[in-house]
Structure 1
Amino acid sequence: MRVLHVITGLGIGGAEQQLRLLLRHLPVHSAVVTLTDPGPVAAALRADGVPVTHLGMRGNRDLTALPRLTRLIRRGRYDIVHTHLYRACVYGRIAARLAGVRHVVATEHSLGAVQIEGRPLGTGARALYLATERLGSATVAVSDTVARRLADWGVRPHRVHVVPNGIDAAGLAHDEAARRATRRRLGLPADAYVVGGVGRLVPGKRFDTLVGAVAELPHDVRLLLVGEGPQRERLERLAAASGVDDRVVWAGAVTRDLPALLSAMDVFVSPSADEAFGLAVVEALAAGLPVRYVACPALDDLPPEEAPAARRIGGTVADVAAAVRETRAAHAARPGRCPVPPAAHRYDIARSARQLTTLYRTLYREASDR
């Protein structure tokens, strides 16, 4: 079976990293087309042996990309085209149909309650999405929450299949030696209580709340932010204005060093109020961290006993500061990591790959039967 994955871009981001991890476990011949930005994840995919083509799309309305993508799909004689992220879903579904591919799968990675991929949900964007969704064979939702949102949007429920995001739980396990080495490298004192956050530095992630909370906490509390994005300079100015610029460490974009960075943390806080899954929260749980989050469909869709070290909190600076004080006191009374909870194993990437492979094979058999 030959599958072409079409994605909007391959810079560092959750959907992009998830695609790379997934391709390591899918037992099919896979290739990738990125419409824009052949960034670090493109290089990583090529290092994994996955062919990556950059289409060179110049913007959302670059209609010249459509015939180029159609020709590429036709030449590849793919059995399935699988699209990821809004722009790729719109253009990829149309191109796949024009190229004669009978089955098109789309994964909805980033549909929030009021936004998609960090942009407000407008009526035009919704109408275009629904029009092209009808050209596909199946839409994959990364959580039950996203499946419900798709149905509310107007996607027919029988076309939606839930395949959760996945993690490499074993690869994220806490490493005490890595903790010490990472703290030395980043200039974090061995006895500091380190609050961690991971994600793109964009307004929707609300990392300004974390910076504000650290300003209300004792001097030995530090903030380790892992990620890059357009809000970096604004957050740096906020840290300086709050008098905590010497207590915030900027680790840069999420890379393969993530397990070591998680090992350097003592608590993980996700202040984002609108998520489609909450992958970083699940990764932190796999690293044995207590987690405090404002929104995380991955956990909200499960019974509480599957993630006992995770707790939902309010989204204000005072709420976050109070949560960190509570976890810091618990850590002082009983240092050490939390057991890896069932939720981390439930969302193992190999399991997600098996679910997606079953969907592929079902579609492939249907085409063969006809």
Structure 2
Amino acid sequence: MKALHVITGLGVGGAEQQLRLLLRHLPAQCDVVTLTNPGPVAEGLTADGVEVTHLGMTGNRDVGVLPRLTRLIRAGGYDLVHTHLYRACLYGRIAARIAGVEAVVATEHSIGATRLEGRPHSAGVRGLYLAGERLGRTTVAVSPTVAERLRHWGVPGQRIRVIPNGIEAPRFRYDAARRKEARAFHGLPEEAYIVGGVGRLAPGKRFDLLVQALALLPLDVWLLLVGGGPEAEVLRRTARDLGVADRVVLTGERPYLPDSRDDAPDLVALLSAMDVLASPSPEESFGLAVVEALAAGLPVLYASCPAVEDLAADAAPGARRVTGGAGAYAREVLRLRAAGPGERTVPDVVHRYDIAHTARQLMDLYTATLAGSNPEVSSP
């Protein structure tokens, strides 16, 4: 089987890193096309031996990318096309059909309750999404919550399959030595209590709440934000205005998988350096950072996390939903600090999201799609 994955960009993001990890476990020949932004994940995929093509798309309305993508699909002789993220799903589905490939699968990574990849839900966004969706065979939802949102939008239930994101849980195992090294690298005091946040520094992630919460917390509490994005300078300015800039560290984008050319701590080491992970984003499709933090044995405070909320309450005893603003997060941090460090145990929820299991489910879907059938795919 030869498959082409089409994605909007390959910077350091959840969907992008999930694709790289998935391709390490899929028993199929896979190439990747990125419409724009061939960033660190593109370099990682190339290092893994995956052929990556950048089409140089200049914007959402750069329709010139369509014939280029169509020619590439025809020339590659692909059996199946799998698209990821809004822009790539639209252009990829159209190009695949023009190229004569009927086996088209899409993964919906980022549909929230009111926004789709940062775009407010509008009649135009929804109409374009549904028009493109009809050109594929199956839309993969990364959680039951996303599946329900797709049905609410008007995607027929029989076209939706739930295949969750996955992680390599052992990779995230807590490491005391790496904790010490990561803290030393970023100037974090060994005795400090570190609140961490992981994700794109964009308005929808609401990391400003954590900066505001820090101003309500004792001086031995620090904030470590892992990620890059347009809100970085806004967060720095907020920290300066609140008088907590000396206790806020922004690492920039850090890869899930380490880069041997980069001496800075990777995501796994940074999770070991934290004492609690906070995820204040009110609209998540899955909550990958939460699952990764739980795999590191961290307690987690979150506003939205379908990966936890779609399961039984006892699946993730170390995760607590926080309702409210900065004050609520500050109170929860104080509660956890007072309770003292835990055993860094890994809860059951983590084992439900094994990337090898995700890859097997996806391969079953590929096989069925090529056979012209559309079987049920079980969730974990």
- When the two structures are superposed, what TM-score results if normalisation uses the length of structure 1? 0.97
- Residue 167, structure 1, aligned to residue 176, structure 2: no
Taking the aligned partners of 2:235 and 2:132, their CA distance within structure 1 comes to: 38
- 1:99 matched to which residue of 2? 99
Work out whether residues 309 and 338 of structure 1, in 8 Å CA contact, stay in contact via their aligned partners in 2: no
Amino acid at match of 2:127: A
- DSSP 3-state at the match of 1:246: helix
Which residue of the partner structure matches residue 24 of structure 1? 24
| Matched letter for residue 50 of structure 2 | V
In the alignment, which residue of structure 2 is the partner of 1:183?
183
Cα distance in 1 for partners of 2:11, 2:58 equals 16
CA distance in 1: counterparts of 2:324 and 2:27, whole angstroms: 41
CA distance in 2 between counterparts of 1:132 and 1:247 reads: 46
Please say if residues 313 and 320 of structure 1, whose CA atoms lie closer than 8 Å, have aligned partners that are also in contact.
Answer: yes
2:291 equivalent among 270, 278, 282: 282
Number of residue pairs matched by the alignment: 364
Find the counterpart in structure 2 of residue 199 from structure 1.
199
In 2, are the aligned partners of 1:271 and 1:315 still within 8 Å (CA)? no
Structure 2 residue 359 is matched with structure 1 residue 353: yes
Are residues 1:311 and 2:317 paired?
no
Partner amino acid, structure 2, of 1:64: G
- Gaps (5+ residues) in structure 2? 259-265, 374-380
Task: Quote how far apart the aligned CAs of 1:366 are.
Answer: 2.7
Q: Percent of aligned positions with the same letter in both sequences?
A: 64
* Map of 1:252 onto structure 2: 252
State the match for 2:276 in structure 1.
267
Q: Deviations over 1:43-69 (max 9, x none)?
A: 110000000000111111111111110
What are the Cα deviations for residues 280-316 of structure 1, in whole angstroms up to 9, with x where unaligned?
0000000000001011011110001110100101130
Amino acid in structure 2 at the alignment position of 1:40: P
User: How far apart, CA to CA, are the structure 2 residues paired with 1:57 and 1:251?
Assistant: 29
Displacement of 1:252 in angstroms is 1.2
Q: How does 1:204-223 map to 2 (within 5 A)?
A: 204-223=204-223
Aligned to 2:376: none
Q: Distance in 1 between matches of 2:52 and 2:303?
A: 36
Question: Given the alignment of the two structures, is residue 291 of structure 1 paired with residue 295 of structure 2, yes or no?
Answer: no
Q: In structure 1, what is the Cα distance between the partners aligned to 2:337 and 2:9? A: 39
Aligned: 1:88 with 2:51: no
- Contact kept, 8 Å, 2:146 with 2:285, in 1: the verdict is yes
RMSD over aligned CA atoms reads 0.9
Residues 178 and 264 in structure 1, CA contact (< 8 A), matched pair in contact too: yes
Whole-angstrom CA distance in 2 between matches of 1:310 and 1:25:
28
> Per-residue deviation at 1:91?
0.4
The residue type paired with residue 302 of structure 1 is: L
The TM-score, its normalising length taken from structure 2, stands at 0.95
How far apart are 1:365 and its partner, in Å?
2.4
Given candidates 339, 343, 362, the residue that maps to 2:345 is 339
Partner of 2:51: 51
- Please, which runs of 5 or more residues in structure 1 have no aligned partner? none
Q: Hey, what does 1:320 align to over in structure 2?
A: 329
The answer for the alignment partner of 2:122 in structure 1 is: 122
Alpha-carbon offset, residue 102 of structure 1:
1.4
Distance 2:104 2:335 in 1: 48
Matched, 1:139 2:139: yes
State the 4+ residue runs in structure 1 displaced beyond 6 angstroms.
none
SS of the residue corresponding to residue 50 of structure 1 reads coil
